[in-house]
Amino acid sequence: MEQLKRITVKATVNAPVAKVWKAWNTPSDIMQWNTPDPSWHTPSSENDLKVGGKFKNRMEAKDGSFGFDFEGIYDSVVLYQEITYTMGDGRQATTLFTEQGGKTHMATTFDPETQNDPEFQKQGWQSILNNFVKYVESN
């Protein structure tokens, strides 16, 4: 199988890293921001944030036409700095958190899947990250 180039999405949140970290990892928060667009939602979220711990976010179209579980197992968790996990299909993702001057810079790098165009995947992950920024800054 051809190895696709890893994709990185980035954002800056106008909030300290402790607040960003909490919103990124708390299931009740995840259910509020984890969507690429308003026609989708995350009706359930489970998160055991530790090495070897699992997460599972149920993502569904609001009209009920499609849904899937986005899940994985944590490989690395460094408080306020890094989260790396492996998804069910073996792909990996890492999110780095860097606080500077009261703002938090985030960068997520992930292995793309082979079903969808890499640019489409990048746009989807970036949309979710942008939604996260809006959520944190407005709460």
CATH class assigned to 7-39+76-137: alpha beta
Q: Is the pLDDT of residue 34 over 60?
A: yes
d(CA 110, CA 65): 26
Average pLDDT over residues 25-42: 96
What 3-state DSSP class applies to 130?
helix
Q: What is the arithmetic mean of pLDDT over 59-86? A: 97
Residue 2 binned pLDDT confidence (cut-offs 50, 70, 90):
low
Are 104 and 20 in contact by the 8 Å Cβ rule? The answer is yes
**Do 53 and 73 touch, CB atoms closer than 8 A?**
yes
- Residue with tokens 């968790």, as numbered in its chain: 77
Q: What pLDDT sits at residue 4?
A: 77
Confidence check: pLDDT of 1 > 50 = no
Q: Is the dihedral of CA 116, 124, 52, 98 positive or negative?
A: positive
pLDDT, the chain, mean: 96
Residues 81, 100: contact at Cβ < 8 Å? no
pTM higher than 0.85: yes
Q: Is the pLDDT of residue 103 over 90?
A: yes
Bridge partner residues of 72 (DSSP): 55, 87
Question: What percent of the chain has a predicted confidence (pLDDT) above 70?
Answer: 98
Report domain extents, the chain.
Answer: 7-39+76-137
- b/e map 24-51, b = 16+ CB within 10 Å: beebebbbbbbbbeeebebeebebebee
> Is the predicted pLDDT of residue 3 greater than 80, yes or no?
no
CA distance 95 to 84: 6
Mean pLDDT of 29-38: 96
> Dihedrals φ, ψ of 4, to 5°?
-80, 150
